[in-house]
Every structure is written in structure tokens, then in C-alpha cells.
Amino acid sequence: DYNRRLEVALKDLHRAQDAIRLQERLNALGQMTSGIAHDVNNALAPVVGFADLLLMDPSALADREKATEYLTTIRTAAKDAAGVVRRLKEFYRKREESEPLVAVELNGVVEETVRLTRPRWRDEALAAGVAIEVRTEPGERTKIAGIEQELREALTNLILNAVDAMPKGGTIRIATARSGDKVTLSVTDSGAGMDAEVRRRCLEPFYTTKGKAGTGMGLAMVYGIACRHEGTIEIDSEPGQGTTFRLVFPAFGTAVLAVPTATAQPHRPRLLRVLVADDEPLVREVVKSYLQLDG
């Protein structure tokens, strides 16, 4: 009888352990899903916003320069969204030798990212009665060997984190500088700052101080991107004194670059009859339009 009761208790214990493991997996899945939605929404906001502007004001299409700017921004933001999804499993994955690094001018990345995030740090903040100013301080000779889309994503996360740290408004300063064989990208806010415990843990995946409003994905993604660029992260912060994140990368010429491929020679197009097959109507339409554009 004693052995039988012991076996029943052991089975109950195993069932409880299985239930706990399942709950932990579901919690992790929920956090991951929330993080995916967070980062993809950040990337898609400019797509929806600038598309709405073109639809609400069709006359903007007559302004070739403005229409080109809007469409370029939409395309860039959409590619960034695709990159977020592609790299969800790559928080701490090291860069493979086959991944090409090209010369990237950090000042251009800063300028483009500030424009892409403007709806969040300016428009949404003003709608909430908060004034946030973004100042850029571009340095000289700030080229690094990298992947532009990843660097843009890292800077986007740092800017949005700075916005969240300043619920009453403030200033975000983004600076680039070169010192010797290192290039530094720094993002400084005048927000609430972090204590020692938060500074120590803020790069951990899923660690957040924002409660349900946070996912704990952003800074972990920034850390992974910095590592793949052979870079480091430095953090200066004190409660009530704001925060500075510094990404330090090898300067251009000190990392292995991709070997440029030979440019294909132009050839005379010949008309073809092509069958386009796909189960998604919009994909079919896009592929058809590409092919028709090529004759």
C-alpha cells in the first residue's frame, strides 16, 4: 500500500512538472510573439503612414520629388520589417563568413533612421502633449564595415527606448565620432536613467522594466547586432541623470569586406511569354508588373 501511494504521488509530481514546463514554454512563446509584433509594428508604421499621406493627398503624386521620397521611405521600412522577421532566431548568432559586409556611412544611417522614427518621437509625442527634440551631431570619417539594415534596426530600438524613457519630454542626442581605428555611435537621452541592477540586466532577452508595455526584445536585438559587427556596447546611466548607449565598431578597413561581384553586361531584351503562378494574388500582381517593366 505504501509503494502504491508512493507511485501515485510520483505520477502526480511528474504531471505537475510537465504542466509547469508547458506553462513556461507558453509564457516564452507569448513574450516572443509580443516582441515580434512590437518590432514589426515599428518597422511598418512608416509604410502605413506615408501610404496614407499619398492616399489622402493624391496631389502629392504630382510632386515627383516628394512622391519619390515617400515611396523610397516606404520601401526601406518594408525591407526593415522583413529583416526583423528573418532575424528573430539570431539574437546572439555570430556572423557567418558568407555574410557580406559593405562600407556603411553611419551618418547616413542616422539621418535615415531619424526620418523613419519621426512619427513616433515627434508626431505621437506631440499628440500626447509631450515635446521631444532629436539632435544629431555627425562626425567625420565614420564609415564602418557592416550591414546597413541591421544598423538601422539597432538605432531604431535605441531611439524608441529613449522616447519611452522620457514620458514628460526631453532631448535625444545622436552622435557619431571616430577615434583611431574605432567608430562610435552614441544615443543619449535626458530621461529617467537606470540604477545598477537595471544597467546590469538591460541587455538580457525578455528583461524589461516597462511591465506589460515592454517586451525585453529591443536591447537584446541591439546587442546581437553589435556582436555581429565585431562591436561592443557601453552604457552610462544613473537614476534621474539620463542614459547614454555607445556602440563602438571597428572603422572601415579593419574588418573583412565582401568581394564586389562583376557587373553584368547589358543585353538586348527579347520578348517572352511567362506564366506566373503563386497562391497569393498580390504577389502575382507584383511579379507580373516587374516582368512587364522588363519588357
- What does the pLDDT look like over 160-213, one tens digit per residue? 999 989 989 999 999 999 999 999 999 999 998 998 888 888 887 777 777 655
Alpha-carbon span 137 to 68, nearest angstrom: 27
Lookup: cell for 289? 508588373
Mind listing the pLDDT tens digit for each residue in 96-115?
655 678 899 999 999 999 99
Note the pLDDT tens digit of each residue in 4-59. Answer: 889 989 988 888 888 887 777 766 666 666 666 767 777 787 888 888 888 888 88
**CB neighbours of residue 201 within 10 Å:** 14
* Residues in Cβ contact with 230 at an 8 Å cutoff, skipping those fewer than 6 apart: 249, 250, 255
Distance CA 185, CA 178 (A): 9
Task: Provide the pLDDT for residue 173.
Answer: 96
